[in-house]
Structure formats: structure tokens, C-alpha cells
């Protein structure tokens, strides 16, 4: 992908700190990407129904068996580990007596 373009002219500070504005912008961009993924999955489901591979309620009525439940739980734990990496590292640092230092 080419770099996303930015506008000449600087960005005003809306909230108390630049970090708060940046985090909000990141959260909204992530919400956008979730919507993109949701729409892609929706397209797949609709195509599968349209082509007769799935019935209209097959996904809602799907009952995962035990092995699928276990695989999904493992995936979620790995996923949460990636998401909360910083929290885990913070705990380790606190335990080791490291406090955040001024930049």
C-alpha cells in the first residue's frame, strides 16, 4: 500500500494531550477495520447462501464440537496475550522495581 496521505496545515489539539487525540483516532481507525472485516465475512456468508453451500440459518445454528471450542479458546487466549502485551510487561516491570522514566 502507498502511504496514506496527510493534509498540509497541522492538526489542532482537541483533548487535553496529543496522546488522547491520537488514541481516539487510533480507536476510530480500528473500529473502521472491524467494520471492514465484518462486511467481508457478511459477503462470504451471503455468497455461500446464494450458491447453495449454506442454508440461511446454518451459521446461527452451528454447534461447535468440543475440539472446536478448545481450539477457539486457545486462539482467544493467544489473541488477548497480543492485545494486552503492554499490561503484562507493565506488571513485570513493576515487580522488578522499574518505573517509567521521563523521556
Partner 1 sequence: MLMERQFDHGLLPHTHADERARQDFVQSLKLYLAQKVVPGIETVYEARVRPAFEKAHGRPPQDNYEVDAVMNGNYYYRLWASLYRTAQELMWCSAAEPILRQREDMARAAVVANPVGSLELDPALEVPRYLSAVDIHCMPGSYHGEAIAGDVTQGALYDRGVHIYGMGGLGPKLGKAGELVGQFIHEKFPQMRDRPLRILDIGCTVGHSTLAYAEAFPNSEIHAIDVAAPVLRYAHARAEAMGVPVHFKQMNAEEMDYPDNHFDLVVSHIVLHETSSKAIHRIMKECRRVLKPDGVAAHIDLCFFEDLSPFNGFMMMFDGPNNNEPFWGTLRKMKARNLLKDAGFAEDAVFEQFVSRAYQGQTVFSEGASDAGRGTWKIIGGMK
Distance of alpha carbon 46 from alpha carbon 73, whole angstroms? 27
Beta carbon nearer to partner 1, 8 or 63: 8
Question: Is the Cβ of residue 51 or residue 101 nearer to partner 1 in the bound state?
Answer: 51
Choose between 40 and 88: whose C-beta lies nearer to partner 1.
Answer: 40
| C-alpha 42 chain-centroid distance | 17
- Residue 48 CB, nearest distance to partner 1 (Å)? 15
Count of H-run helices and E-run strands, the chain: 3, 0
Q: Cα–Cα distances in Å, from 66 out to 25, 62, 63, 98? A: 39, 13, 10, 43
Where does this chain bind partner 1 (CB under 8 A)? 1-2, 4-12, 14-15, 20-21, 24-25, 28-29, 31-32, 35-36, 39-40, 43
**What is the closest distance, in whole angstroms, from the C-beta atom of residue 51 to partner 1 in the complex?**
17
Amino acid at each position: 500500500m502507498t502511504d496514506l496521505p496527510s493534509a498540509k496545515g497541522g492538526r489542532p489539539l482537541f483533548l487535553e494531550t496529543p496522546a488522547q487525540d491520537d488514541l481516539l483516532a487510533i480507536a476510530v481507525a480500528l473500529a473502521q477495520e472491524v467494520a471492514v472485516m465484518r462486511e467481508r465475512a457478511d459477503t462470504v456468508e451471503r455468497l455461500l447462501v446464494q450458491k447453495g453451500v449454506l442454508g440461511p440459518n446454518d451459521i446461527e445454528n452451528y454447534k461447535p464440537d468440543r475440539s472446536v471450542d478448545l481450539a477457539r479458546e486457545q486462539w482467544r487466549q493467544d489473541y488477548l496475550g497480543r492485545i494486552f502485551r503492554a499490561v503484562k510487561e507493565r506488571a513485570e516491570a513493576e515487580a522488578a522495581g522499574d518505573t517509567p522514566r521521563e523521556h
